[in-house]
Every structure is written in structure tokens, then in C-alpha cells.
Amino acid sequence: MGLGYVGVTAAACLASQGHDVIGVDPNATKVDTILNGKSPIMEPGVEDLIRGARTANKVTAVTSIVPEVAQADLVMVCVGTPSAADGSHNMTHIAEVSRQLAVLVKENPYSRLTIAYRSTIRPGTIEELIQPIFDGVLSSEADRIELVYYPEFLREASAVQDFFDPPKVVIGTKTGAPCKVLDEINEGMKAPVFYVKYRESELTKFVDNTFHAVKTVFANEVGRLCVQLGISAAEIHRIFVADTKLNISPSYLRPGGAFGGSCLPKDVRALQHISRSTGGSAHLIESLIESNEAHKSFLFNYVTKELEFGASVLMIGISFKRDSDDLRESPNVDLARMLITAGYQVSIFDPHVKPDSLIGQNLGVLSNSPFIRQLLVDHPTMEGTSWDLVVDTRGTASDYSITARRTVDISRLS
């Protein structure tokens, strides 16, 4: 249920394992793309899996729930939970899908479904929102539904690898007991498995993503300090991450670009909302978005230092992450907007962002930032032009034959 990044990846990977998969999404473009053996998202490896699954007749897609769903062994709910104005998650899609599934079960008296929610949801959502929906529709027959919270730990651009080899598996049930269907799905995985109750499993993803945001903000604050003091941020990073006994891991801890994308900003805002609404005093968490916004301004000043008004600027990479076309809350979109507003002649090269292929929320970003479409240049144009400044958001400028007076790699402050 839901064919965004999580849903499409799950459909492709499960079908490649021999499971029969039905993808459901009201977006007809996504459905048609899958039926044509292609992927509606830019994610390495996914399109190959979908093509193979379509050839083997292991995956199909529809725009609304079909009767066959009532006979499924497992339903995965992967619909979006976008940020509301106050930072909380908008639960409209979760509620509607739950209602549709409840009605489906009611109309099929012999149906018993295990429904695993993968969307990021506030602790208490299953008990206080989802379970009451099923109770209201099914009343005394609500026990025909097994509700599970099953958070995903997929990174864009490596989602297929993460699906088959996750860092951990978290399964939340009413009592904390195992879920037979998910145990069968996950058989053979080497990752540690945690069986917990609903609320523990619901909070897990917030904790992870907020810590990733903490690491990014911390690294960037250190990086800014290093630049101001004339110290090599790259050397400080190299020394810091060498300590694997105390400093944990190098992931997210390299000074560079601001954090963005579909998960970290949304989940940090949601955890901030949870903290405020429950009386928590989470001062570090409250400061994350503010510090991240400050880093965007710092990067703008950093790359435009001594740059003349009207200078030609090439940005390599506009999506929030390499090997992805995801524009949602991309800090690179914000940087491009600041450069344009300041009067620079900006061009953008991103081999993965193809405006005519964007759908869903990414298409919405394009509509709100039409300059992206207007400023995209192709490979020959990029290499055939002399630029005053190249802003490398990926660390890939050296892969191309670019003529520029100055190149700044913001993926790694040095």
C-alpha cells in the first residue's frame, strides 16, 4: 500500500525473492510505470528487479484495492506521512488506508490479514488511531486483523542493499511477541531482530533519524569553526573518526552539506513536536533545524566568497543525495535559490534529475521551484563551457573535464 520510495523498493525486492506482490497506489503514472517493467523512482537496482519480476509475473500494480488483497499473507502499509504545519506527521493517508483495509476485511468474511505498517508514525498511533479504526468497522471481528509496526531502515541510493541486509529488524506487536509472517519473510537475514511492543517500535525510527541529524549538525558546526580558525576540517574529521572505540562511526559525521531529504527533516520536526507536546526539555533536538538552516547560509557565503556579481556558477547535483532524483527538502535546491537571488548566473547539472520523469512530491518541488527545469544543462554543455565557479555538492567534479576558475566541494569541507 503506497508506491513511494519505501513501497516500490519493498515490492521490487519481495518479488525478486519469489513472492507474489500487488502494489497499490492511486497515482496512475506510478502504476503504469511498474506495469511497463520500469521503476517510478530513481534507486539503483530497483528497475532491474521490477523488470525481472514483471517478466516472471511476480509483481503487478493497481490504483485501488482489489479483492485479491483480502487473501494476502501480508499487507505492508508504506504511504506517506508528510509534515503538518506544526511539525507533526500528517496521518490522513494512514487513516484512509486503514479504513479501506478494514472495509475490505469486513466484505470478505473469511479474510484474516497481517498488516505491517512501515510508515513513520508517532508513538501511540497504532493503539490510539489505527486499532480504533479497525475496531469501529469490524467490531467483534477485529481479531481477524494482526497489526504490526515494522519500521524500515532504507537509505536512498542503497535501498536494495539495505532491504536485503538491514542494520537491524524491529517488529512491534501488541504484546511484543514474534510475528510469524514477518519471521518467514525475514528468514535468513543476519541482522539482529528485536521483538517489542508497539510504542517502542514506533519511536525507533525517530531516534535513529534524529541522531543522524545530530551527527550532521555537529559535524557541520565543527566544520564552520575550523574554517573560521583556518584549520583543516578534513584533517579534524580524519582524526576524529579514527577513534572507533569512543567516537562510534564515521557515518553522518563528515563536515559537508546540510541534511535534507524525505526523512531527517520530517522526523526531527515530528520529534520536536512530540517533545513540546509532552513537556520534554529536548534543547539539543530543538536546535537541530535552526542549526541546519544556519549551515545553509554559511555554505552560501562560503562558496560565493570574493565571487563577482553576475558570475557564472555551475552546480553539480541538485537532489539531496548522490545517485538519487529526490528533491524533497534538498538543501541544494535552497542553495541554488540563494545563488539566483544574489544575482549569479546559475546552471545545474544532475544526471539523475529528469523533470519529465519526476512524479509525486518530487514533481511538486519542481512546480514550486521551476528554475530547476530552466537551469538544467546536459553533459556536453557542462564540459563545453568555462565557469567562474563550480559548486560540487557530490564530490564528483574531478570525474568531468570542467573548465572553471574555482571549484568548491561542499560535500566535504576542507
Active-site residue numbers?
A: 263
Cβ contacts of 363 within 8 Å, gap of 6 or more: none
Secondary structure string (H, E, C) spanning 222-291: HHHHHHHHCCCHHHHHHHHHHCCCCCCCCCCCCCCCCCCCCCHHHHHHHHHHHHHHCCCCCHHHHHHHHH
8 A C-beta contact, residue 46 and residue 72: no
DSSP string, 323-360: T----TT-HHHHHHHHHHHTT-EEEEE-TT--GGG--H
Q: Give the count of alpha carbons within 13 A of 193, CB side only.
A: 17
CA distance 201 to 173: 8
CA distance 22 to 75: 9
Residues in the chain: 414
Return the H-helix or E-strand segment holding 409. strand 403-409
- 398 φ, ψ (degrees, to nearest 5): -70, -15
The helix-helix angle for 5-16 and 46-55 (nearest 10°) equals: 50
Q: What 3-state class would DSSP assign to 113? A: strand
